[in-house]
Amino acid sequence: MHEMGIKGKGLKTPNNQKEDKIRSNLRNEEQKIIMQVENLSKTYYQGKIPVHALRCACITVRKGELLAIMGPSGSGKSTLLALIGTLEKATDGKIILDGTDLTSVPEKLLPRVRREKIGFIFQHYNLIPTLSALENVELSMRFSRMPKKERVERAAALLEELGLGGRLSHKPSELSGGEQQRVSIARALANKPAVILADEPTGEVDSKTRDSIVRVFKELSEKGQTILVVTHDPEVAKECSRILRITDGVIKDN
């Protein structure tokens, strides 16, 4: 009787302990900080006059976040994306992405960092017009040391997942704007980046296509892909998990 009483007080079976560990690991993964921006600043000079494009920005981004970046033209949105994407150098501060301090990476290694840790999605798609959808995606993996057969298989799988399984051989001119943007999303995902940077990705499409692209972003976010979206569109921003607003180079976290 005494032993039964002890069991009844909630001693966990090995199966329960295993389930608790799985839940704990999932929670930890969800809470993992994938990017830390610390006191990031960028100052340009017009002659001798300093222009502060970004002022002491501090941002914490967790794995799987879908983060909107909003602000008027000239507020610093594109500067922030360019700094995170290592396309420009910061005047001060740090960007730590997936354990790597991007601001301390030597210039000659930056292309590799971009290729392995960052995916880019542009407003105007930036697809190569002479290549098919499949070739555009496969091309982004050429320097990844992955055998060609695997590159082609991954490119096809990504396009299939994004609803373009029947359009693999189509060139950009044979695709709608929404389809071209899905190809560029597949290209951004190809190297399994730590973060995707999307600069006005819905700026050139109609509202129906915009909504379908946002749905893709949300689905990717739910699977653990971190995405930062610069947008002027409040309909896009409201679907994101968080909104950063930039005014005169200063960031406010909503």
Integer Cα distance of 240 and 227 in angstroms: 9
E-state strands within 180-232: 195-199, 226-230
What does pLDDT average to over the chain?
88
pLDDT of residue 131: 97
Q: For the chain, how far is it from start to end, CA to CA, in angstroms?
A: 57
Say how far apart CA 184 and CA 205 lie, in whole Å: 14
Average pLDDT of span 7-35: 62
Q: Strand 100-101 relative to strand 92-97: parallel, antiparallel, unpaired?
A: antiparallel
pLDDT-derived band of residue 5, with 50, 70 and 90 as boundaries?
very low
Residue 228 CB: number of other CB atoms within 10 A? 23
Neighbours of 144 (CB within 10 A): 16
Alpha carbons 120 and 193: distance in angstroms, whole number = 9
What mean pLDDT comes out for the span 213-241? 95
- Element of type H or E holding 79: helix 77-84
Rounded distance, CA 118 to CA 108, Å?
Answer: 16
| Each residue's pLDDT tens digit, 178-214 | 999 999 999 999 999 999 999 999 988 889 989 999 9
Residue 1 has pLDDT above 80, yes or no: no
For residue 107, is pLDDT > 80?
A: yes
- pLDDT of 205 reads 85
Q: What is the pLDDT of residue 80?
A: 94
pLDDT score at 144: 84
Confidence check: pLDDT of 29 > 90 = no
What is the bridge-based pairing of β-strands 226-230 and 33-46? Answer: unpaired
- Structure confidence at residue 46 as a pLDDT band (50, 70, 90): confident
**Per-residue model confidence (pLDDT) at position 3:** 46
Ordered by where they begin, the domains of the chain are 65-87+105-253 (3.40.50.300)
- Residue 54 burial (CB < 10 Å; 0-12/13-18/19+)? buried
